[in-house]
Structure 1
Amino acid sequence: MSKVDELKMDIEDLNTLLKQASRQKSKDLIGIEIRKLNTELSRISENSGTSDTKATPTPLKTGPKVYEVKLNNYAWDQTDKFVKLYVTLKNVQTLPSESVICKFTDRSMDLRVCGLENRNYHLPIINLCEEIDPEASSFRIKNDIVAIFLAKKSPTNWSCVTGVEKRIKEAKAPSLNPDPEETSDPHSSLMGMMKKMYQEGDDDMKKTIAKAWCDSQDKKSATGLDFPQF
C-alpha cells in the first residue's frame, strides 16, 4: 500500500472519530491531526503527481546491430580514359546518397556503403596498377550496383587492377635474358618474388598473392609454396 493510500485511510478514520467525539477538546485535537495529515497528503501529491511510488525507468531503445563487411569481389573493364569497377550490392539504390562514399588518391580508392540492411560495406584498394586522376574519378549508384570510374592519368592499357596482381603477372612472364640458374628451375624466380612480396606485405597483399597463385597453378604446384591456406 502506498503512503498516499495510508494517509487517506488515516484521515477517514479520524473524520469518523471526529463525528463521534462529544467533548470540544477531543474534537480540537482530532481536527489538528486531520489538518496535519491533509498537509502531508498535499505535499506528497505535489511532489509525485498522484502517488509516492517511484516511476519505472524506461528502457533505452537500441537499434539493430550493424555488421562490418569487407568486400573483395568486383567486376571490371576499361576504356582509353577509364578503368570501371562494378560492385554488386543488392538494394544499394534505396540508400540516401550520403550513405555511399568513395575517395580517391593517385594510387588508391576507398568505397564505403553504410547502413545497407544492417551492414556497412568497405572496399579498399590501396595500390592500384597505374596512377589515376582523383579529381576526374567518380562513382554512380545503379540498381544493385555501385559503378566506380577510375580516370587514367595516361591512356595505358591496364593488365589488372592492383599493383600486386601486376607484379605477379610480370614475374610469371618469361624473361628475354633468362639466368642460367633460373632456366634449370623455371619456377624459382616466381617463387622467390612471391615469397618476398608475401613476407613483406600486409594482410590484404598476402590474401591477394595466395588467391592469385592458387587461381593460376594446379593444386600440386600451389602447395609447393609455403603459403597459409585461406
Structure 2
Amino acid sequence: MPVSKRAETSLLTDQVYDMIHESIMNGDLPAGARLRVRDLAEQVGTSVMPVREAIRRLEEAGLAERSPHKGAVVKGLTLAELVHVYDVRRLLEVEAARLGAQRISAEDSARMQDEFALMRTALDERRVVAYLDHDEALLTILYEAAENPVLVDTIRTLWQRCRAYKIVGAEGTVDTTEDDSLWMYQQRLVEAAREHDDAAAAAVNNDSLLDATARIKAQLAQQDVS
C-alpha cells in the first residue's frame, strides 16, 4: 500500500475511533451495544477497514469486547471489574490527591472551585455527562499539581475504562435529593487542597471512591449484573 494511502487509512481510523469513543464516553453507546462494522462505516462514510481497526483499538483500550453471536460490543459491566478498577483507582488517586494538595498553587485551587461550581450546576440540571466531565476536570487540576504526568495519564486511562460505571452510579443517584454523595466529597477536596491539607485530601478521595463503589454495586445489583 502506498504511503499516502496508509496515511489516509490511518486518519480515517482515528476519526472512526474518536467517534465511537465519544459515543461510549457520553453514554450514547451503552455497555453491551453492538458495534456493527458496516453500519458504522456507512455512518462515517468510509470502508469497513478503518472501522475494524478502530474497533480493535477500542478492544485494546478495554472499551470494547467480542461477544458470542454478536461480534464486537461495547464492554459490558461486571461486579468483578468494578471492584478491580476502583481498587486500582484508590491506590493511585489517594496518592495523587495527597501529592497534589501539598503542591497546588492558589490559582489552581481557585480553578478547582470554578470546576466545582460548574459541576454543581450540571448536577442541578441533571446533565450527568457534563457533571462527570467537570468532576474529572476538578480532579485533574489537583492531580496535575503532583507533577507526575505518568500518574495522571494512568488515572485518565482508568477513568475511560470505568466511564460506563460512573454513568450508572450518577444516574442512579442524581434524583435522590437527600443524597449529597455526588458533590460532598468534591467540596471537601477543594477545601483540603486550598488548605494544603494532604492527609485530608487523601482521606477524602479514599472515602469518595469507597462510596462510589458501593453505590454502583447497588445499581448493578438492581440490573442483575453479576
User: What TM-score results when the alignment is normalised by the length of structure 1?
Assistant: 0.27
Q: Which has the larger radius of gyration?
A: 1
- Which structure has more strand as a fraction of its residues? 1
Structure number with the bigger relative contact order (C-alpha 8 A, sep ≥ 6) is 2
- Which structure has more helix as a fraction of its residues? 2
